[in-house]
Structure formats: structure tokens, C-alpha cells
């Protein structure tokens, strides 16, 4: 037995020596992606683009082969000039969806649910506009945005600040009776409403607040010490403050979404913590994810689908890019990774910023392009949005002028039916600004404000003034009509 062990040890050493050159050759064939020159170029682009896009603060993390190779903060976290560091928490917005999906898969591994279970198995009172249609919506449909729930229905809580313990249940109740835009499983249609249902489902199965579930299942195992759901849990977690733009200029606005928005956009995290999260998913960290869970997480079920479970998938130079972006009022973020190949190391990235703008919205997408070795797109102000703002506020000035004339100038003395044209047009214009334009963008008017306050105020101003002017003209016409009747 002793001789056999010695022989086995000798053979093992011989095999390791013989195969060592091949292993080394394989590793050495992979060139380093994040070279000093590339990292320097990325940093320079961040600094230059922050000035051009008027971005107050940014934090980035770059990963290669599952290891953090660059971690840096830029600019200010608030209007007092507090510096952004890799430990500064930012709102990561819709990137939160990947966390929610991961937790659902953990629950499936524990036998508490199945992805192909109907949502109504756990939330039996949930109904859509058609009888029994809700029973066809599976948990997988929710996580992949192919349940049929509309983008608009998912944006009804964008301005909510409600923090009650029943918030996730109320978010689902708002969806009861909603009309699906297509049958479940047929088409991709991005909607936060899917994750409202998934969040409530998690709270039901765990019998715990969503914040606690995220902390226990993901944040603590990955030692994400500067991450939390919406409200900081420690004084040391000094978060970045959001800066929505007003006409291209950032103005600080501290705004925290209500609990209805936790599972689809409520997480805050630092670049350092998000780097640990990206590494955990890309490298299959057993503390939070198994190989089978990872396969499900990153594998779309629909043919030609580009969205798996909380992760978007696209092709980049022959490789799969797994990513997700997010936007809250005053914040924009993006994370992603590419798996290793025979020729390339696996890479990952994290981008966090504290701004949102109707005019300058290309900072994060362009930085992602630079990180992925693509040329950035022009960073000039968005021409369409700039024209929209000019038209909106020009409309306000015109309406103020006519409102003044209506109040202080003598109007028509004789009633004529053609005089009804003006108030009719004004009412239509008011409806266009208050409802039609927001609906075309699949959001309510109040939901626009946290993201683009200048645009929202322009729409509100036009709608209000046009409505007041229409009422005044109608009142004047009613008076003329009564006078006309009296004369007869």
C-alpha cells in the first residue's frame, strides 16, 4: 500500500510537469484587456465627458478574470463637494432587477417555487381584464418581461414615496384588472409591473420585508457593506445625491422612491460592492449562485430574445455581453460582463453616476462603449429634446400673452359659433400636454418629473394655462350667449 501511494504521487507529479507547458501556453495566449493605456484612456474619457455632459459624480469599476483591476471615484456626491469614492452608494435603479431575479432562483433551488409556476398559485387574487388570463402568467414571464403587462402599467408608481409595510401588495393591487398588451409568453415588453409582482411574491414566500431578504441573501454573503434597499442602514453609508438637469444644468434633488419600487429599481450600492456582485455572477460564486442557477439566469427562453432573467444579452465582436442599465431621477447606471474565451480574458464593468437629463443622456452609454473599446457617439445636446423644451416654454409665453389679453382686453361683443373654435383647440392642447404626450412615452405626467423636471414643468405649464384660458373663453362666450338670448 505504501509503495502504491508513492507510485501514485510520482505519476501525479509527472502528469502535472508534462501538462504545465500546455496550461501556461493557454493562459499566456490571452492578452490583458485592461492595460494601463486602456485604463488611462477610460479615466480621461470619464473626466472629459463629465465636463461636457455636466455630470457631478461618477464611480467605476473594471474587472478582468473575475478580479477588480481598477476602482475609482470622480467628482462630487453632493452640492457641498463631498468627493465620490469607490465606497459611495449610488441608486442603481433597474439594475436592481438582476438581484430580484437571483433571489427568485435561490427560492427555486430551495423548492419554494418553480419558474414555470403560475403567479396566481401564490397571489390568487391577482386578475387581469380577461377572466383566467392571469393564471397563464408564469414567474418566468415576469422576470423576462413577456407576461403581457404594459410599460405604462409599470410606470404608475414612478413618483410614489409610500413606505408602508403593505407597499408591495398595494403595487400589485394597482395592477388588478389591467389589460395585457399581448398573451403571456408571446412578446417581450419591458415593464416594471413584472417586478412589482415578483417583489411581492418574494415577500410572501419569505414572510420578511424585501429589504431584509436582499440583505440576507445577497448583500451579506458578498460582503456588500455599502449597499442597501432605498434607506441607508448605517451612518457610514453616505450616499450620492441625485442631480436631475434643468435645461442642461444639474440641480441637487434628494429623492428616495417608495417601497412599491423596491424590486424593480430600489437598490443603492457602491462601485466596489457592485464589482463584487458582477464577479459573483460572472464567476459563479457559490455563496449566492450555482452553475444551474447561472445558466437559467443568463439564458433567454424565447427565440431571438435578448432578455434573460434580469439581464440583457447582446452580441459584441462574437462574444455574449451580459448587461443591465438603470435610470432613476438624478441617477444613471450600467453593469455588465463578457465571459472568457480561448483568446480573451473575461471582463466586467460597473458605471454609476448621479445625474439624469433630457438634454444630456448619453454619458453612461458612451462610457460603456469606451470601456468595450468602441468609439463614443457625439455628446451634443439631444436635438429633439432641446427643440421640445424650446417649443414647450415658447407655448407657455404665448399662452400667458393670450391669457393677459383675455383678462384685460375687450373681447368679442356678439356671440358666434365660430368663437367656440378657440376654447376647443385650447382644451385639446391642454389634453395633449397633460395626457397624450406622457402616454406616448408610456408614463404619466407626474412620473416624468423625477427624471426630467424641466420637461415635466413645461408640460404642466402648457396644460394648466391652456385649460385656464379655455375656461375663461368659455365663460366669456356663455356670457355673450346669455346676452344674445336676453336681447331676443
Mean pLDDT over the full length of the chain: 87
Q: Residue 388 belongs to what H/E stretch?
A: helix 383-408
Residue 345: inside a domain = yes
Is 13 a member of any domain? no
pTM over 0.95: no
108-124 confidence digits (pLDDT tens): 999 999 999 999 999 99
**pLDDT score recorded for residue 233:** 87
**Which pLDDT band, with edges at 50, 70 and 90, does 222 fall under?**
very high
Residues 303 and 389 in one domain: no
Both 131 and 260 in one domain: the answer is: yes
Report the pLDDT value the prediction gives residue 344, as an integer from 0 to 100. Answer: 87
Confidence at residue 16, expressed as pLDDT on a 0 to 100 scale? 46
160-169, 210-219, 291-300, 372-381, range with the lowest pLDDT: 372-381
CB 155 within 8 A of CB 196: no
Does one domain contain both 229 and 364?
yes
Please determine, for residue 488, whether its predicted confidence score (pLDDT) is greater than 70.
no
Kindly state whether residues 355 and 416 are assigned to the same domain. Answer: no
Each residue of 470-487: b (16+ CB within 10 Å) or e? bebbbebbeebeeeeeee
- Please choose, from the candidates 198, 334, 200, the residue with its C-alpha nearest in 3D space to the C-alpha of residue 274: 334
CB 275 within 8 A of CB 348: yes
Residues 353 and 255 in one domain: yes
Q: Is 202 helix (H, G, I), strand (E, B) or coil?
A: helix
**What DSSP element (H or E) covers 305?**
none
**pLDDT (tens digit, 9 = 90+) per residue, 139-158?**
999 999 999 999 999 998 88
Q: What is the pLDDT of residue 3?
A: 42
d(CA 347, CA 395): 49
pLDDT tens per residue across span 426-481: 888 888 888 888 888 888 888 888 888 888 888 888 889 889 888 888 887 787 77
Domain boundary among 307, 338, 371: 371
CA triple 451-297-127, angle to 5 deg: 65
Residue 487 corresponds to which cell in the numbers above?
336681447
Residues 221 and 328 in one domain: yes
User: Is 357 found in the same domain as 463?
Assistant: no
| CB of 227 closer than 8 Å to CB of 233 | no
Number of domains in the chain: 2
Please list, in sequence order, all residues whose beta carbon lies within 8 angstroms of the beta carbon of residue 460, skipping any fewer than 6 positions away: 433, 434, 445
What is the residue whose three cell numbers read 435578448? 306
Asked whether residue 289 falls in the same domain as residue 420, the answer is no
16 within a domain of the structure (yes/no): no
Residue 24 is assigned to a structural domain of this protein: no
Could you list the residue range(s) of the whole structural domain that residue 417 is in? Answer: 383-487
- 282 and 205 in a common domain: yes
Residue 58 near residue 74 (C-beta atoms within 8 A): yes
244 and 161 Cβ atoms separated by less than 8 Å: no
Phi and psi torsions of 127, nearest 5°:
-135, 150
Residues 68 and 166 in one domain: yes
Sign of CA dihedral 64, 67, 70, 73: positive
Q: For 2-35, what is each residue's pLDDT tens digit? A: 344 544 444 444 444 444 443 333 345 678 999 9
Residue 223 · residue 270 · CB < 8 Å = no
User: Residue 94 domain-assigned?
Assistant: yes
More confident site: 456 or 135: 135
- Based on the fold, state whether residues 122 and 192 are members of the same structural domain: yes
E strand residue ranges, 85-124: 90-91
- pLDDT at residue number 70: 98
| Residues 165, 427: Cα–Cα separation, whole Å | 41
What is the CB neighbour count within 10 angstroms for residue 243?
A: 26
pLDDT tens-digit readout, 227-281: 999 999 887 789 999 999 888 889 999 988 899 999 999 999 999 999 999 999 9
Which helix (H) or strand (E) is 2 found in, with range?
A: helix 2-28
Out of 340, 371, 402, pick the residue that ends a domain: 371
Residue 12 lies in a domain: no
For residue 19, is it within any domain?
Answer: no
CATH code of 74's domain: 3.40.710.10
> How far is the C-alpha of 161 from the C-alpha of 482, rounded, in Å?
48
Decide which of 316, 349, 371 is a domain's last residue: 371
Residues ≥6 apart with Cβ < 8 Å to 17: none
pLDDT at 367 over 80: yes
Q: What is the pLDDT of residues 292-335, one digit of tens each?
A: 999 999 988 765 578 999 999 998 888 999 999 999 999 999 99
Shared domain for 357 and 460, answered yes or no, is no
Q: Do 128 and 180 meet the contact criterion of CB atoms below 8 Å apart? A: yes
- Of the pLDDT bands very low, low, confident and very high (cuts 50, 70, 90), residue 417 is low
CA distances from 346 to 311, 338, 340 (A): 17, 5, 4
Q: Would you say residue 397 lies in a domain? A: yes
Helix (H, G, I), strand (E, B) or coil at 488: coil
Summarize pLDDT for 181-216 with one digit per residue, the tens: 999 999 999 999 999 999 999 999 999 999 999 999
Q: How many residues are recorded in the chain?
A: 488
Amino acid at each position: 500500500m505504501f509503495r502504491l501511494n508513492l507510485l501514485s504521487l510520482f505519476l501525479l507529479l509527472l502528469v502535472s510537469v508534462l501538462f504545465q507547458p500546455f496550461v501556461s501556453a493557454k493562459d499566456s495566449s490571452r492578452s490583458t484587456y485592461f492595460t494601463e493605456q486602456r485604463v488611462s484612456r477610460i479615466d480621461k474619457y470619464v473626466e472629459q465627458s463629465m465636463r461636457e455632459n455636466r455630470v457631478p459624480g461618477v464611480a467605476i469599476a473594471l474587472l478582468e478574470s473575475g478580479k477588480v483591476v481598477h476602482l475609482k471615484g470622480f467628482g462630487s456626491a453632493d452640492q457641498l463637494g463631498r468627493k465620490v469614492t469607490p465606497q459611495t452608494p449610488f441608486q442603481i435603479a433597474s439594475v436592481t432587477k438582476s438581484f430580484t431575479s437571483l433571489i427568485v432562483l435561490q427560492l427555486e433551488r430551495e423548492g419554494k417555487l418553480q419558474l414555470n409556476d403560475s403567479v396566481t398559485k401564490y397571489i390568487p387574487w391577482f386578475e387581469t381584464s380577461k377572466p383566467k388570463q392571469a393564471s397563464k402568467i408564469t414567474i418566468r414571464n415576469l422576470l423576462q418581461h413577456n407576461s403581457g403587462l404594459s410599460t405604462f402599467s409599470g410606470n404608475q408608481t414612478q413618483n410614489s414615496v409610500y413606505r408602508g409595510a403593505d407597499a408591495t401588495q398595494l403595487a400589485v393591487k394597482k395592477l388588478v384588472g389591467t389589460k395585457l398588451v399581448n398573451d403571456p409568453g408571446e412578446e417581450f415588453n419591458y415593464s416594471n409591473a413584472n417586478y412589482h409582482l415578483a417583489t411581492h411574491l418574494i415577500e410572501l414566500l419569505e414572510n420578511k420585508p424585501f429589504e431584509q431578504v436582499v440583505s440576507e441573501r445577497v448583500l451579506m454573503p458578498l460582503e456588500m457593506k455599502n449597499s442597501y434597499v432605498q434607506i441607508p442602514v448605517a451612518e457610514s453609508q453616505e450616499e450620492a445625491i441625485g442631480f436631475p438637469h434643468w435645461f442642461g444644468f444639474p440641480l441637487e434633488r434628494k429623492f428616495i422612491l417608495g417601497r412599491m419600487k423596491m424590486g424593480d429599481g430600489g437598490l443603492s450600492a457602491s462601485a466596489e460592492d457592485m464589482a463584487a456582485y458582477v464577479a459573483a455572477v460572472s464567476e459563479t460564486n457559490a455563496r449566492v449562485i450555482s452553475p444551474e442557477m447561472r445558466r437559467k439566469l443568463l439564458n433567454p427562453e424565447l427565440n431571438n430574445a435578448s432578455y434573460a432573467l434580469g439581464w440583457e444579452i447582446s452580441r459584441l465582436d462574437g462574444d455574449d455581453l451580459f448587461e443591465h442599465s438603470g435610470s432613476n431621477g438624478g441617477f444613471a447606471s450600467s453593469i455588465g460582463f463578457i465571459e472568457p474565451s480561448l483568446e480573451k480574458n473575461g471582463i466586467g464593468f460597473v458605471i454609476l453616476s448621479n445625474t439624469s437629463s433630457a438634454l444630456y443622456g448619453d454619458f453612461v452609454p458612451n462610457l460603456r462603449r469606451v470601456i468595450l473599446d468602441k468609439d463614443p457617439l457625439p455628446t451634443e445636446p439631444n436635438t429633439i429634446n432641446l427643440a421640445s423644451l424650446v417649443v414647450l416654454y415658447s407655448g407657455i409665453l404665448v399662452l400667458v400673452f393670450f391669457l393677459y389679453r383675455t383678462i384685460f382686453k375687450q373681447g368679442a361683443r356678439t356671440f358666434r359659433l365660430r368663437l367656440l373654435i378657440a376654447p376647443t383647440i385650447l382644451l385639446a392642447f391642454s389634453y395633449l400636454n397633460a395626457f397624450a404626450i406622457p402616454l406616448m412615452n408610456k408614463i404619466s405626467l407626474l412620473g416624468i418629473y423625477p427624471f426630467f423636471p424641466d420637461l415635466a414643468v413645461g408640460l404642466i405649464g402648457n396644460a394648466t394655462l391652456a385649460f385656464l384660458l379655455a375656461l375663461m373663453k368659455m365663460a366669456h362666450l356663455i356670457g355673450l350667449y346669455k346676452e344674445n338670448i336676453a336681447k331676443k
